[in-house]
Chain A
Amino acid sequence: MHAEQVKHDFEPKVVAFVCTWCTYAGADLAGTSRMQYPPNVRVLKFPCTGRIDPVFILRAFQKGADGVLVSGCHPGDCHYMAGNFHARRRFAAFRALLDFVGVDLNRLQFSWVSAAEGGKWVEVVTELTERVRGMGPMKEFKELELEEQWSASLSTPELKAAYDSIT
């Protein structure tokens, strides 16, 4: 698997939200096995896909991600027993919402990659990267970001004040 990695005109940004136990370990295995894949992906590690808030995905798109991957343990294999089921339910609703606001769902991929599936990690990442490369940059959310100040960062003084005023 020695694909020549050459720089293309458009190098998409791909962000992967993964769980520690399965997909992160699967990506490690791809590394130990020296498999090759496009260097566009940035990995954020979570204890469990259950921890992944849809807001993170929105924010990633806003900050310039052209594709987002969410990947955890196979159904039934969750280290925390059921976290990935909650994640699955949450993301089903979230996808519908994204669809509604006009995001091309091809930019958001969910998958299950286990600790033993280094090869599958490579496949999933390569596929998503090449797909969004073909789709071109994702502009919609980045423009939004320019227009208004994002309020999800919890440390803004305004937000703190607002919180404190309720109690």
Chain B
Amino acid sequence: MSRIGVFVCHCGENISRTVDVEQVAAAAGNIPGVAFSCDYKYMCSDPGQNLLKKAIAEHNLTGVVVAACSPRMHEKTFRKAAGAAGLNPYVCEMANIREHCSWVHENREMATAKASDIVHLMVERVKKGKSLAPITVPVTKKALVIGGGIAGIQAALDIADAGHQVLVVEREPSIGGHMAQLSETFPTLDCSQCIMTPKMVDVANHPNITLYSYSEIEKVEGYIGNFQVTVRKKARSVDESKCTGCGVCIAKCPKKKIPNEFDQGHGMRSAIYVPFPQAVPNTPVIDRENCTMFQSGKCGVCAKVCGPGAVDYQQEDTLTVESIGAIVVATGFKLYSIDRKPEGSMIQGYGEFGYGTIPDIVDGMTFERLASASGPTGGKILRPSDGKEPKQIVFIQCVGSRAREKGISYCSKICCMYTAKHTMLYHHKVHDGQAYVFFMDARTPGKGYDEFWRRAVEEEEAVYIRGMVSRMYQKGDKIIVMGSDTLVGVQVEIEADMVVLATAVQPQEGADLLAQKLGISYDKYNFYSEAHAKLKPVECATAGIYLAGACQGPKDIPDTVSQASAAAAKVMTLFAKDQLERDPVVAKVNEKYCVGCFACKKVCPYGAIEEKEIKDRQGNVVKVIAYVNPGVCGGCGTCQATCPSKTVELDGYTDEQIMAMIETL
């Protein structure tokens, strides 16, 4: 006979305000099999947990239901407490009467009735629950970092410095991400290259880091501590082991007029190229779409001039499978573009700004390249259309951001600050020029941030106009900017030579596809979701996967680096153990009843189901049945719902448990 204890939490007032907790505890006491029930102000507090432990001992409880917040919040806490009191942790369950009840209903009578029902469901579930022994699995102490921007670089260096192997997979030919493109950085105006390049070189030289550049994640299998990751190394057409990085091929390539992505299309590169001089690795890559050799079979100059014979037109993509213990996702962001958007996209373009057809309306990243000493203009602010120095420049903040009608309602967080930076850089370079900024608000929380912004306004003579721009059009060689100053309440019209748009930060192209490979969740914009907005900001809900940088939400460099180091610390905590306990929610086959139809094997997404031969004493095979490899089983239960004879069962979610719950309805 079960002896279940039910503990109803007030959660301060969070639950008791709408749910009559005393009544719920009293009702629980009347459920057959419940030996003890009570209510308490804060179950998760130390006295609350002690109350639970004491009751387990005193009333000889065989199972426990804590009616409180979501199990996603405190299941671990209470299972640990129950375990400490000698109970099997898996016969401790939570009835979610906060997130699923008190917080979402106002009618006290109905909310109380619902809370009692939820408790009853869980009591029946625990009554049929079995003691489970946690499964221990080994931890592979090798981390994978996806994305080689500042987030990925920081995380990789931290983990590698702690003595663990790290694999960095970067999609582009070089690591560096967006930070490598920046000129100076707020809030101190450090030169971005100067603080970034040494870190990139450290990644290349670190004995514990293996860099897969120009590579992508093909497939991810397994689980925390034991992932199997397939990496696709795209064909570079240059053998990295032979190339010395001398650059002769680049100099001799006859195809030189290709817009350089690194300079936002404003500089030129050849068909065989390194994206920028400080690239890591410093190995060129052939852009096959623009290479004459690949397009017409004629040329081959680079192969001829390459001393060590590193150019290889026949090179193919290669796939490598790696055993990985933890994954840090650091795939960063892309910038919103004001172009006309494809049919069906939730993001709208800006027809009022000419849909990207006016050449001297550029985005913030282009401005960074123009201001950068290594950029296409050698650091001079010159406008793209005719190379003239703009004397009147207009910056517009919140383009795409905080604009629900354009499809994005969030704030991109970094634009107020980098626009202030841009006005300063402009003022330092064009002394007789005037910068105007259209803004909705100046959002500058952060150490030294408001001071930085004030400097732009008070000392660097930028004119800030509060209001949005309603229309822009080309008139002769000027851009007419029409907007309103909402503080003064007048219409403003500026004849600008150049306009810089602080466009919204969006998740990286293909972020959703990568998430699907990893099995992690993402929001409607494709930013990756953390396990808890406040208390688990770097963990994914999927164990063993961590987030760093702008892939989780818009972030500046200080925040990105902090998060990356935090993610690295989480990986190190994991790697501090040789063995890992994982939830024993895995399927088991009842060998007696299995008829060997292998319907389960066909549906198992993990390939966990193997064929097992049952032999008689003479060693003759009498039947072949299904066997679930507990190390591989992910615990989805699809096999159980599929099995026609119901002989494979998922521990913790047995038919018996679920039916018992349904019986209470």
- Which residues from chain A sit less than 8 Å from chain B, CB to CB? 2, 4-7, 11, 13, 15, 21-22, 24-25, 27-28, 30-32, 34-37, 39, 42-48, 50-53, 56, 59-60, 63-65, 73, 76-83, 86-87, 90, 114-117, 122, 152-155, 163, 166-167
Contacts and interface: CB of A to CB of B under 8 A. Distances in A.
Interface stretch (B34-42, B153-161, B631-639): B631-639
A51 B114 CA distance: 25
Contact of B638 (A5, A51, A115): A51
Interface string B96-108: 1011110111110
Given A5-B107, A43-B118, A56-B662, 9 more contacts: A24-B72, A31-B98, A34-B103, A43-B96, A79-B636, A80-B634, A80-B636, A114-B521, A114-B524
Interface residues of B, number: 58
Contacts of A65: 665
Interface of B: 70-72, 96, 98-101, 103-107, 109-111, 113-114, 117-118, 121, 512, 515-516, 519, 521-524, 529, 541-542, 585, 592-593, 603, 605-606, 634-638, 640-642, 646, 650, 653, 655-656, 658-663, 665
A59 to B, nearest CB: 5
In this complex, which of A2, A37, A50 has the most chain B Cβ atoms within 10 angstroms of its Cβ? A50
Contact of A48 (B100, B101, B523, B638): B638
A2 B515 CA distance: 35
A155 B104 contact: no
Contact of B104 (A36, A47, A87): A36
Contacts of B542: 79
B653 A39 contact: no
In this complex, which of A51, A53, A56 has the most chain B Cβ atoms within 10 angstroms of its Cβ? A51
A45 B111 CA distance: 19
A86 B515 contact: no
A27 B105 contact: no
A163 B516 contact: no
A28 B73 CA distance: 10
Contacts of B114: 39, 42
Given A51-B636, A86-B642, A77 B521 contact: yes
Contact of A43 (B72, B100, B521, B522): B100
A32 B103 contact: yes
Given A39-B107, A86-B603, A117-B524, A47 B659 contact: no
Contacts of B605: 50, 78, 80-83
A161 to B, nearest CB: 14
A37 B585 CA distance: 32
Given A31-B99, A39-B101, A115-B541, A22 B521 contact: yes
Contact of B529 (A39, A52, A59, A116): A116
Contacts of A167: 592-593
A51 B524 CA distance: 26
A77 B516 contact: yes
In this complex, which of B105, B603, B665 has the most chain A Cβ atoms within 10 angstroms of its Cβ? B665
Contacts of A80: 519, 605-606, 634-636, 638
Nearest to A3: B106
B659 A153 contact: yes
A7 B110 contact: yes
18 contacts: A7-B107, A7-B110, A24-B72, A25-B521, A27-B99, A28-B99, A31-B103, A44-B662, A50-B641, A81-B519, A81-B606, A87-B638, A116-B522, A116-B529, A152-B655, A154-B655, A167-B592, A167-B593
A63 B592 CA distance: 32
B659 A154 contact: yes
A43 B111 CA distance: 14
Contact of B106 (A5, A83, A116): A5
Nearest to B660: A153
A163 B593 contact: yes
B603 A51 contact: no
Contact of A32 (B99, B650, B660): B99
A42 B658 contact: no
B638 A46 contact: no
Nearest to B519: A79
A59 B662 CA distance: 7
A45 B642 CA distance: 18
Nearest to A1: B104
Contacts of A4: 106
Given A34-B103, A81-B605, A115-B529, A42 B659 contact: no
Contacts of B512: 76
Nearest to B641: A53
Contact of B658 (A5, A44, A114): A44
A21 B529 CA distance: 12
A166 B590 CA distance: 14
Given A31-B103, A34-B104, A77-B521, A50 B111 contact: no
A50 B638 contact: yes
Given A86-B642, A115-B541, A50 B636 contact: yes
A50 B658 CA distance: 14
A31 B70 contact: yes
9 closest A-B pairs by beta carbon, nearest first, are A51-B637, A31-B99, A50-B638, A80-B636, A116-B523, A48-B636, A5-B107, A82-B605, A63-B665
Contacts of B661: 44
Contacts of B99: 27-28, 30-32
Contacts of A36: 104-106
A73 B521 CA distance: 9
Contacts of A11: 110
Contacts of A60: 662, 665
A47 B636 contact: yes
B650 A47 contact: yes
Contacts of B665: 13, 15, 42, 60, 63-65
A45 B95 CA distance: 11
